[in-house]
Structure 1
Amino acid sequence: MTAEHHRTLAMQAIYRINTWKKCWPVWEVELDKRSASFSNPKLVHDLGSHLREVFFATNTGARGQADLSGGGAGWECLVTWYLNLILSGTNAVAVRQSKAVMPETLLDATTIRYGTHQTNTESDVCVIVYPADFKFPAPDAKFMFDLNDQVEKRIGDIELGIIQCKTNWNDNAQIPMLWDMVYRASFGSETNIHIGKRGYNVKHLKRFSYSFVTVPSQKDSLKKKSIPNSSTQMAVKRVSGLSGGNYWGMPTKSGVALSVSEIFDSNFSNAFKVNVRASVGNAIVNKLGMFSP
């Protein structure tokens, strides 16, 4: 058994979202022409540097971006799709946080409790890296129940990356900064703040990271509210120290943000038996994961 059934469930959850149904016919055309119909490993990997262009392809002018792309929901879906495309054939899966497709144990581990109040981070997307020898259950109706059973047994061998996706950078950069600080902190009993529940905590994982991935939706100019373009800007400083890094749907700009295509080497390298592009090439040739017809 492999991770592909879990990937299938994660993507089926996205395919049911109305935002995805409206946007995918347009996005698919843009993605197809930028990747040689998903046949060129380099171009497929480099899609991460063009996700902003793809995302805005649904902005026709007649209808606003919020109408067609569903704002944040559309961006989360597109990022999750891209992550699973590159992770095809590996033991890593990207999911939008949901009890239907996220193992309960990992939801418990990322829960924050303040007094009697419990909450989860605005994670948006989670990438789970299973160990190479992980025993995936049979792809039947009990799959998620049985998967969680295995996760409970192997939590110390599992890596988890939380990815907060936002369309706007300037207005949201402080949110991932604060959540990352919370997950990295050690709270004394006097604070009444606890990370995790039912005996599970992110510190029990093999590796945990927190990242920010933005479009960004601001205009590419030097005007106020434009795309952050300098390491000295507050919006950049706020996410510069995230444990998992700061990314956007454009080419890497040193000191500002990395292309989303760099997130695999940064946070999920253990998912790959070979380098990222070779892995994508193998998935294409062998029709694995998202490359299967």
Structure 2
Amino acid sequence: MDIISILNIISAQECFSNQSFNDNWPRYKAFINNYLGEYPSSKKVQNLGMELSSIFTKNDTERGQSEVSVTGNVWSKFINWYLNICLLGTNSWAVSSSQLLPPQVVRALEIRINGEKVSRSKEIVVVQYTGAENVDVVLPNDLSGVNLKKTYREAYKNFFKKIDLQEVRVILLSPKTIASDMLAIPLFWNFCYKGNKLNTVFDIEIGNHKENPEIFKDNKVYYSVVTVPTGREDKIKAGTIPGKAQINKLQLLDGGFYWGRKPSDKVKSFDNFFLDNLDLNGFVGKEVSENYEFTNYSRSVYYKLFNPQN
């Protein structure tokens, strides 16, 4: 198995470290297993992206929008988990932790306004590596009880050292649970990361002179939003929440505007994210599809995708 696939599995596993996500996981998993069936196709795995919102809110229809916002971190973990099961076996991985990012990418994403370092929202960072250093690692036959992050830390850190930023595409994905939270901040970050010379006008500096978005493969960072949301689906479909003008602006995000439901003429379903941003066609979900029977086998590496670490 290659080192990027190891990163996929580690990142998916780390989602279970969030107690609220872990508490809800048995419910999510039951619906996911029912949807995928015994032998899901790769397309079925990818199409799970159209079901994420309904799984997230299933048996919880009485919960209001303000209450759902409290579980925003759980939604973020759910999105991160889905991304990594789909990206397994490709040249891309998704992370919520900077520990699973090359340090040069972290530095390239740093923002300073008026000389002061500022923190972004808690986006998921999706990295696509197009170079040739994605080396294979040897896995033991029995992985039950094996902590992949500790075991392969040296291997993925050595991989990070070899990465050239010119061979990297980066997408910042902002998971949102409420409609009112979808506009201003994503559009601001999208503007900042487009590779504009902001320091001469707004005193906004991204990265440093050697490591910045203009060095990346597409000379910028893509910014994307994926929302649940609950309670206002019909108004979102009609383009009236958070407002027609705002919906139109969100569609201008470089990385796209998505939700975890079936597509409408205003919002794309999240399964479109991979082709839109990573040009991945035919590989998404393939690895999990071909090895789905092993997700219930505790010695298998695929078991770790669907079960908390023992």
TM-score category of the 2 structures, normalised to the smaller one: 0.7 to 0.9
> Tell me, what secondary structure is at the counterpart of 1:181?
helix
Residue of 247, 258, 277 corresponding to 2:258: 247
**Displacement after TM superposition at 1:190 (Å):** 5.1
**Displacement after TM superposition at 1:16 (Å):** 0.9
Distance change (3 Å), C-alpha of 1:33 and 1:201? same
Match of 1:28 in 2: 29
Distance in 1 between residues matched to 2:179 and 2:15, nearest whole Å:
24
Match of 1:236 in 2: 247
**Displacement after TM superposition at 1:32 (Å):** 1.2
Distance in 2 between residues matched to 1:265 and 1:87, nearest whole Å:
12
Structure 2 counterparts to residues 153-232 of structure 1, below 5 A? 154-184=164-194, 185-189=196-200, 191-197=202-208, 199-207=210-218, 208-221=221-234, 226-227=235-236, 229-230=238-239
**Displacement after TM superposition at 1:122 (Å):** 1.7
TM-score, normalised on structure 1?
0.84
CA contact (8 A) 1:3 1:91 kept: yes
Query: Which amino acid in structure 2 is aligned with residue 48 of structure 1?
Result: G
1:257 counterpart = 2:270: no
Match of 1:142 in 2: 154
Unaligned runs of 5+ in 2: 138-150, 296-300, 304-310
> How big is the alpha-carbon RMSD for the aligned residues of Structure 1 and Structure 2?
2.9
> Tell me, what secondary structure is at the counterpart of 2:14?
helix
Task: Kindly provide the CA deviation profile for residues 152-171 of structure 1, in whole angstroms up to 9, marking residues without a partner as x.
Answer: xx110111111011101233
Distance change (3 Å), C-alpha of 1:190 and 1:52? closer
**Displacement after TM superposition at 1:233 (Å):** 0.9
**Displacement after TM superposition at 1:193 (Å):** 1.6
Query: Which amino acid in structure 2 is aligned with residue 87 of structure 1?
Result: L
Distance in 2 between residues matched to 1:243 and 1:106, nearest whole Å:
19
> Tell me, what secondary structure is at the counterpart of 1:94?
strand
**Displacement after TM superposition at 1:194 (Å):** 0.7
Distance change (3 Å), C-alpha of 1:69 and 1:178? closer
Task: Kindly provide the CA deviation profile for residues 65-86 of structure 1, in whole angstroms up to 9, marking residues without a partner as x.
Answer: 8889951111111111111111
Distance change (3 Å), C-alpha of 1:250 and 1:243? same
Structure number with the bigger relative contact order (C-alpha 8 A, sep ≥ 6) is 2
Structure 2 counterparts to residues 117-128 of structure 1, below 5 A? 117-128=116-127
Match of 1:6 in 2: 7
Distance change (3 Å), C-alpha of 1:250 and 1:38? farther
**Displacement after TM superposition at 1:119 (Å):** 2.1
- What is the aligned-residue identity percentage? 23
CA contact (8 A) 1:88 1:289 kept: no
> Tell me, what secondary structure is at the counterpart of 1:242?
coil
Task: Kindly provide the CA deviation profile for residues 156-203 of structure 1, in whole angstroms up to 9, marking residues without a partner as x.
Answer: 011111101110123332221111011123224353221113731011
Match of 1:284 in 2: 289
Distance in 2 between residues matched to 1:19 and 1:57, nearest whole Å:
15
Distance change (3 Å), C-alpha of 1:165 and 1:288? farther
Query: Which amino acid in structure 2 is aligned with residue 159 of structure 1?
Result: R
Query: Which amino acid in structure 1 is aligned with residue 183 of structure 2?
Result: A
Distance in 2 between residues matched to 1:66 and 1:169, nearest whole Å:
10
CA contact (8 A) 2:69 2:178 kept: no
Distance change (3 Å), C-alpha of 1:239 and 1:178? same
Match of 1:99 in 2: 98
> Tell me, what secondary structure is at the counterpart of 1:227?
helix
> Tell me, what secondary structure is at the counterpart of 1:29?
helix
Query: Which amino acid in structure 2 is aligned with residue 47 of structure 1?
Result: L
Task: Kindly provide the CA deviation profile for residues 243-291 of structure 1, in whole angstroms up to 9, marking residues without a partner as x.
Answer: 111100111112x11000000010011xx4xx33x55345422569988
Distance in 2 between residues matched to 1:42 and 1:135, nearest whole Å:
25
Distance in 2 between residues matched to 1:16 and 1:131, nearest whole Å:
30
**Displacement after TM superposition at 1:147 (Å):** 3.2
CA contact (8 A) 1:167 1:216 kept: yes
Query: Which amino acid in structure 1 is aligned with residue 263 of structure 2?
Result: T
Distance in 2 between residues matched to 1:237 and 1:189, nearest whole Å:
29
Distance in 2 between residues matched to 1:104 and 1:282, nearest whole Å:
28
Distance change (3 Å), C-alpha of 1:67 and 1:199? same
